[in-house]
Every structure is written in C-alpha cells, then in structure tokens.
Structure 1
Amino acid sequence: MSESQALPNDEEISWFWEEMEADVRATLSPEQRIAIEKAMAKSADESRPADLRLYLGKYFIRIIAGKERRNKKRLRQDLKKNPVFAKRNLPVAILFWTLWVFSVLYVLAFISTLVESFLFK
C-alpha cells in the first residue's frame, strides 16, 4: 500500500511522506499511514486563514490573517523564538510604519479638501 493511497492527490501529504526519513516511514503499518493521512486531511479541511503574498523581485511580503488556534504555551514559545521587535524585522516595520503615516496624511488631506470645497464655496 502506498503512502498516499488514502488521499492520492494531496501535495501536502506527498511532501510529508517525502520529508519523513525512510527508516521511520518503514516502521509504520498501512493502518497507521492511513490514520496519519486522515488526520492531515481533516486539519487541511478546516478553514484556512487569509494568505496574501506579494512578490517584489527577489523579495516578498506575506501577510497571514485569521483566527489564532494555537494554545498559549505554543504562542509563548513562538514569541520567544520570533520576537516582533527583532533586528531582522526592523526594515519591514519601518516600511509599514512609513506607508501607514503617508496613508493617514493622504486621507486627512483628502478630507480637508472635501471640507474646504463644501464649507468655503
């Protein structure tokens, strides 16, 4: 029985089996493999977060938005491993802050123009 017999066309499951070490994979019974694939399919079927990917030449920006489903222990581990205010995040934070400031200024200027055109006509 092949590793992907339960769900033959799922790329995530194929990737999973390819990444698993062959000696570990060989220890699994066909029933265990099917149970693993069913569990993976169930988690894949659950609603996924919005995933926006912007490719800018050799760089990219990825924004993922959705309901947080990780438990508190895992969240703490993730924040410790990947702090928001790390040096590697500084260029992106500066870029987003700058874009936000200019966007706010643009909206305020637009509102000001509207107010002037209606009130001081």
Structure 2
Amino acid sequence: MVAPATEAAGHLGAASARTAGAAGEAGRTPRPGARSRPSSQPRGEGPSKAQQERGLAALTQWVEREGDRPVPRKAVEVLPDGTETKLGIWYSNTKTRRDKLNQEQRDALRELGVGWV
C-alpha cells in the first residue's frame, strides 16, 4: 500500500509533467471558444479603430436617449446596422485604459460629455 502523501505527490508530479509538455508545444491547438488578439493590434495599445467607432456610435445613441445618466456595465446598444455593442464593457475598459487613447479619441469622448477624459 502506498502512503497518501506519496500517492498525492506522484499524481501532482504527473500532472506537472503533462502541463509542462503541453505548454511547450508550439503547434498546440487553441481550446474551443478561445479568442485570440488580432496580430494588427499589439498588446498595450488602445482600442482598434473599428472598436472605437462602434463604441462611440453606441455611446452617442446612449447619450441621445439617456442624457448624462451613467452607463451601467451591463448596458448593450443595438446599432442601426443591427450589431449589438456591449457598451458598458467598452465604456469601462476605455475608462480604465484612458491613458492609451490618442487625442482624437479623447476629443470624441469629450464631445459626448464624458467627464473623465
């Protein structure tokens, strides 16, 4: 009979070996549903131009309908072309990353009455 501590250590050792082998595989397939970052947008930059345009369009609709009411995190806006934009998440992320916005993006937000820009 194997002692429980030894058995657990053997189990963890095997798991560690599997994890190390999987992490080192260059050609591994991504897990289902995993989203990858487009190669055109390196880490550390602000939102892409398309993301910014959709977010601003959604925020414009929000301001026209709701005035200066705060945007809740769960807010979703349906744009005229039928696409749904998770406005609350975009707004929160944009606020968090405001130091990465360029002057044009800051000006567009100021025009909509965003005070934290």
TM-score category by the smaller chain? Answer: under 0.3
The structure having more radius of gyration, on CA atoms, is: 1
Between Structure 1 and Structure 2, the one with more strand by share is: 1
The structure, 1 or 2, with the larger RCO (C-alpha pairs under 8 Å, 6+ apart) is 2
Compute the TM-score of the two structures, normalised by the length of structure 2: 0.25
Between Structure 1 and Structure 2, the one with more helix by share is: 1
